[in-house]
Amino acid sequence: MAVKPEESIVLRNESDVAGLLTAIAASAIPSRSSVTVPERTNFVLWTLPTTEAARCSLQRAVEELSNFVQSSSQSSICLIFSATTAKPETAESNFLLAASKVDRKTPELVEVLAGLKTEQQQESEEDFNTNFSLLKRTWTRLSSRQLYLPLYESHDAQDNGKRHHRHRLLYISLTVLLTTTLLITLLAAYILSGNHHLPNPFRSHPWQRYTTGNSHGPKYQLQFSHHNVTGWKTAHNFNPSDWRLRLDDQSLIPASLWTPEEERYQQWFRHRYPEKEEIRQQGLFTEESFLADPFAIQVPTDSTFHTAHCVLTLRRYWTAKESGTHLCPRDLDYRHMRHCLDSLDSLVFPEGVRGPVEKEEDPAEDERFMIWKTKVCFDE
């Protein structure tokens, strides 16, 4: 492969730059030129035909080289451009262009340019290919380090790259924002829910599910399942005689806190709901086999049961607030109170005008069921 002998060229304006690159492209052979820009700078220019993909057109290459000449801070330039050649077999070819200013040469580039041979020194095509590969490797290394030898792309390619980068940042930002929002929403729902059964990590104890403030009474509440009931009974040396069971919310209360008022209301529940009373008398509410049976825990009930529970729930809340003592942490849960008030509203404030007086509901004919859920209210 022939190499064009080194030439000395003087550039005075952008038209001269265009003429230089057009002539280089027309010759379609490697060339080295010493270029002088009067009253501005001197630089060495190398061009090589290449099969690498072109990054810009001949016109863009002219503009970039002109900017390089006029720049006081840019010491080197490297780009790949396409242009029409004089060879009949190839209407258009791609060219590598490298230039380094004489007053501030890039060390790596100067080393490679000095190693490339002129036509008189070129011994074989293998030598040329070796030097040509070395030059490409140097350009790649310098481009990756973003030092003196940037590899210019066309403005369209640069704009596409910037748009892609912006879209990627936007996608990542939206993903992070949506994920964070979802996590915050789930966490808030978890904390605000009065029915979650997992320990709250923001509490000082895993089963401190409700805020009791300065009220005296149990701080912790745990819903039993067949997975945890045996372990809890063993850890707390469970003795049935030390506890009392409230049928309306299936809560175990320390016997030392039981009150005559609570006993009076529980007697009413025991009389009206014999199936629930049977579970209490037999002590099934802390048995693993009972809690694991999906049919056994379905206990008959009626529409009055929930209403009675809510009235008693509100009374417990009022009593705890007035006396400063509660029996179970949920007795002070405002979310539970709001639920009961909403339920009573729908019952005592029906829509429409008063209709005919209905017969009293017979609980024996009501085929409703409730799911038994034993809870224990305790302190360590």
Per-residue tens of pLDDT for the chain, all 380 residues: 454 555 678 888 878 888 888 888 787 778 788 888 887 788 888 888 888 888 788 888 888 888 888 887 788 888 888 887 766 655 678 888 888 887 554 554 544 444 444 433 444 445 444 445 555 555 444 443 333 333 344 444 455 556 667 778 888 988 898 899 988 988 877 666 544 444 444 344 556 678 888 999 999 999 999 999 999 999 999 999 999 999 999 999 999 999 999 999 999 999 999 999 999 999 999 999 999 999 999 999 998 999 999 999 999 999 999 999 999 999 999 999 999 999 999 888 988 887 776 655 555 555 578 888 888 787 76
Degrees, nearest 5: CA angle 237-240-244: 120
What are 49's strand-pairing partners? 95
Angle at 349 between CA 345 and CA 353, to 5 degrees: 165
Q: Give the strand pairing for 92-101 and 76-84.
A: antiparallel
Q: Within 10 A of 229 (CB to CB), how many other CB atoms are there?
A: 22
Within 10 angstroms of residue 262's Cβ, the number of other Cβ atoms is: 18
Residue 163 CB burial class (10 angstroms; 0-12, 13-18, ≥19): exposed
pLDDT recorded at residue 49: 85
Nearest residue to 35 via CA among 116, 104, 101, 114: 101
pLDDT for the residue numbered 6: 57
> What's the pLDDT at 128?
45
Q: What is the pLDDT of residue 330?
A: 93
Alpha-helix residue ranges (DSSP H) falling in 147-298: 155-192, 229-235, 260-272, 274-282, 288-292
What's the distance, Cα to Cα, between the start and end of the chain in Å? 92
DSSP H or E run through 375: strand 375-378
User: What would the DSSP string read from start to end of 283-343?
Assistant: TGGG-HHHHH-TTTTEEEE-HHHHHHHHHHHHHHHHHHHHHSB-SSGGGG-HHHHHHHHHH
What local confidence, expressed as pLDDT, does residue 325 receive? 94
Alpha carbons 347 and 341: distance in angstroms, whole number: 10
Amino acid at 236: H
